[in-house]
Amino acid sequence: MKNKEKRLMRGSEAIGEAAVRAGCACYFGYPITPQNELTEYMARRMMDTGRVFLQSESEIAAINMALGAASTGARVMTSSSSPGISLKQEGISFIAAMELPCVIVNIVRGGPGLGNIAPAQSDYFQATRGGGHGDYRTIVLAPASVQELYDLTRKSFELADEYRTPVLVLADGMLGQMMEPVVFNDKEILPEQLPDKPWTVKGAKDRPSRFIRSLLLDVDVEEEQNWRLYRKYQRIERREIRHEEYYMKGAELAIVAYGTAARIAKAAVKRCVEKNMRVGLIRPISLWPFPYEHIYKTAETVKHFMSFEMSTGQMVEDVQLGVKGRAEVLMYGRPGGVVPTPAELFRVISRAYNKIAREK
Amino acid sequence: MLVKTIFAGFGGQGVLLMGVCVATAAMNEDKFVTYMPSYGAEVRGGTANCTVSISTDEISSPIASSPNYVVAMNNPSLLRFQHIIKPGGYIVTNSSLVNVELGRSGVTQIQVPGSDIAEELGAMRSANMVMLGAYAAVSNVVSFQSLIDAVGEVTGKKKKELVEFNIKAIKAGHDNAKEQIKKLESIEA
């Protein structure tokens, strides 16, 4: 029967709506395909709700506006696509150093360079290794459906506030452009309902001054700040790993895939299982922190892994770090904006699986 | 059950709206559904298309490499998509504008003069709704009633009279296609 709560939404709209309902007070954007629908949506919704929508003069300006607004305690978001996210890296490094909460959306497109506007997963290294200069990490969440775009964007605001750190939502043009039903399982929060943050800088009347800065010339102070960040990242690694499993019980070959690739992998794995092949799927939902420990444990019994990515192979290095030599790690990838079909992946998996079976 | 449909035409014919209507109808029937528009560096007056996937299970890829149905609103759409239709599938063509011959076998073509029917009803721009009705009759992937409801839901935000007109157009397309299916079935029988 008709469910009134279900709405057919475009991926980029789901991100925008999640931000609005999370109490995002400021959005700073700059146009780039394939994420323009998000900026368009925010233009409408932020104005309707009397909040700040600002189309800046460049990506660099947008991320620095986000930095400034975040330092007042407001929930803030900026978005772009690969080349634009590269431009934002300096700002992201500063935001990490200043320990400011900020949500950054990357609707990844084919690269390097300007590349194309097709769906890709080639920004994995940049996203999970910090991206900018300095000793820092960003939390990276990788949704695989429009519902998850909604849920994980909402979650990103919470994580950003909790850990005072930038959070990256990593999607691609396919997820951003496609429409799927979305259910809002959460309660809307207005910006003014959010609790006050004790570290903000928005005027020091009747209290001592506070400082939020990234320039720490004294090496001892900078070292201590680095260790402080390190301890925070360790805390995040202990508490914020997210992943999902599919047909992993009794599997002999584990496919590891995230986002759009994981959707395709799911269909291919299902077909394998129907043909009595013992193949399963591990889908990391948080790319940083990565589920190393889970993969290590899995590698106790599963001796073959295959990383499947829409790149020439980036996450595969994390899979290798996870298995720590306990299992063979294969790689299958299609870079440049190609979205492989489930049938293509099924053929690749079958070949690998038969080879494993022969060698046994 | 997994049914994939490509709606294709030129920009301005409302092919994306057709896809959104069908996707909304499927959602309201509690089916799994994805809608994927073509996007890219398109030119004004160029081609537009979208893919709607409807299933009783989770849908992996919203892209269709071999769709079960293609609705072609103009010649370039037929030429571009005819060869990827799944054998045994259907192509529903807007015969008011599509005059090239289908260049393959193994699929059934249903020709509905969508633009002409819409013009007779009084608004040529509703050709997409006529063709949507024809598609519903051919595919049965969503019920006729939920399609009507979905069109109301999607297009009714601004103008009520437009919804009524659209429903009239959908019915006309539906009846036209049903007639043809009946004929085809009697030939086969």
Condensed to tens digits (0 to 9), the pLDDT of residues B48-59 reads 999 999 999 999
Contact at CB, A33 and B35, closer than 8 angstroms: no
What is residue B131's three-state secondary structure?
A: helix
Question: What average pLDDT score do residues B119-129 get?
Answer: 93
A244-359: CATH topology: Rossmann fold (3.40.50)
Contact at CB, B23 and A8, closer than 8 angstroms: yes
pTM, 2 dp: 0.95
pLDDT at residue A2 in the model? 44
Chains A, B: CB contacts within 8 A come to 56
Closest residue of chain A to B34, computed from CA coordinates? A180
Closest residue of chain A to B19, computed from CA coordinates? A179
Chain B residues contacting A via beta carbons under 8 Å? 20, 23-24, 27-28, 30, 33-37, 39-41, 58-63, 65
Q: Residue B73 in contact with residue B115, Cβ under 8 Å?
A: no
Confirm or reject contact between A343 and chain B (CB < 8 A): yes
- Residue numbers of A between 9 and 38 with CB closer than 8 Å to B: 33-34
Question: What average pLDDT score do residues B99-127 get?
Answer: 95
Residues 6+ apart with CB under 8 A from A346: A268, A271, A272
Contacts of A178 in chain B (CB under 8 A): 34-36, 62
What is the distance of C-alpha A314 from the center of its chain? 15
Condensed to tens digits (0 to 9), the pLDDT of residues B40-87 reads 666 666 789 999 999 999 999 999 889 999 999 999 999 999 999 999
- A166: tokens are 């930038």
Contact at CB, A117 and B62, closer than 8 angstroms: no
Which residue in the set A173, A180, A267 is minimally distant from B33, CB to CB? A180
- Residue numbers of A between 166 and 185 with CB closer than 8 Å to B: 173-174, 177-181
State yes or no: pLDDT of B26 exceeds 90. yes
Contacts of A268 in chain B (CB under 8 A): 60
Which residue in the set A8, A173, A264 is minimally distant from B61, CB to CB? A264
Contact at CB, B39 and A173, closer than 8 angstroms: yes
pLDDT at residue B188 in the model? 79
pLDDT at residue B38 in the model? 86
CB atoms within 10 A of CB A57: 8
ipTM confidence: 0.93
- A77: tokens are 């978001």
Domain coordinates in residue numbering, chain B: 2-188
CA distance B113 to B130: 9
Say which DSSP state B101 is in: P
- Tell me if the domain spanning B2-188 has CATH number 3.40.920.10: yes
pLDDT at residue A154 in the model? 98
Residue B30: phi and psi, rounded to 5, are: 60, 35
Q: Which amino acid does the sequence have at A249?
A: K
Which residue in the set A34, A177, A263 is minimally distant from B61, CB to CB? A263
For strands B90-94 and B69-72, give the pairing: parallel
Domain coordinates in residue numbering, chain A: 6-186+211-239, 244-359
Contacts of B61 in chain A (CB under 8 A): 263-264, 267, 339, 341-342
Q: pLDDT confidence of B158, banded at 50, 70, 90?
A: confident
CA distance A37 to A59: 16
Q: Which candidate, A336, A69, A340, A357, places its Cα nearest to that of A200?
A: A69
Q: Residue A320 in contact with residue A292, Cβ under 8 Å?
A: no
pLDDT at residue B44 in the model? 67
Contact at CB, B60 and A1, closer than 8 angstroms: no
Helix (H) or strand (E) holding B32: strand B32-37
What is residue B22's three-state secondary structure?
A: helix
pLDDT at residue A306 in the model? 98
Contact at CB, A6 and B27, closer than 8 angstroms: yes
What distance in Å separates residue A123's CA from the closest CA in chain B? 20
Q: Residue A331 in contact with residue A316, Cβ under 8 Å?
A: yes
Q: Which candidate, B55, B54, B41, places its Cα nearest to that of B11?
A: B41
pLDDT at residue B187 in the model? 86
Average pLDDT, chain B: 93
| CATH, domain range A6-186+211-239 | 3.40.50.970
pLDDT at residue A1 in the model? 41
Q: Residue A81 in contact with residue A15, Cβ under 8 Å?
A: no
Contact at CB, B34 and A2, closer than 8 angstroms: no
The full 3-state SS of chain A, as one line of letters, equals: CCCCCEEEEEHHHHHHHHHHHCCEEEEEECCCCCCHHHHHHHHHHHHHCCCEEEECCCHHHHHHHHHHHHCCCCEEEEEECHHHHHHHHHHHHHHHHCCCCEEEEEEEECCCCCCCCCECCCCHHHHHCCCCCCCCCCEEECCCCHHHHHHHHHHHHHHHHHHCCEEEEEEEHHHHHCEEEEECCCCCCCHHHCCCCCCCCCCCCCCCCCCCCCCCCCHHHHHHHHHHHHHHHHHHHHHCCCEEEECCCCCCEEEECCHHHHHHHHHHHHHHHHCCCCEEEEEECEEECCCHHHHHHHCCCCCEEEEEECCCCCHHHHHHHHHCCCCEEEEEECCCCCCCCHHHHHHHHHHHHHHHHHHC
pLDDT tens-place values along chain A, 360 residues long: 444 579 999 999 999 999 999 999 999 999 999 999 999 999 999 999 999 999 999 999 999 999 999 999 999 999 999 999 999 999 999 999 999 999 999 999 999 999 999 999 999 999 999 999 999 999 999 999 999 999 999 999 999 999 999 999 999 999 999 999 999 999 999 999 999 999 999 999 999 999 999 999 999 999 999 999 999 999 999 999 999 999 999 999 999 999 999 999 999 999 999 999 999 999 999 999 999 999 999 999 999 999 999 999 999 999 999 999 999 999 999 999 999 999 999 999 999 999 999 998
Contact at CB, A174 and B23, closer than 8 angstroms: no
Closest residue of chain B to A173, computed from CA coordinates? B39
Residues 6+ apart with CB under 8 A from A163: A101, A139, A232, A235, A236
Which residue in the set A3, A8, A341 is minimally distant from B65, CB to CB? A341
Closest residue of chain B to A109, computed from CA coordinates? B40
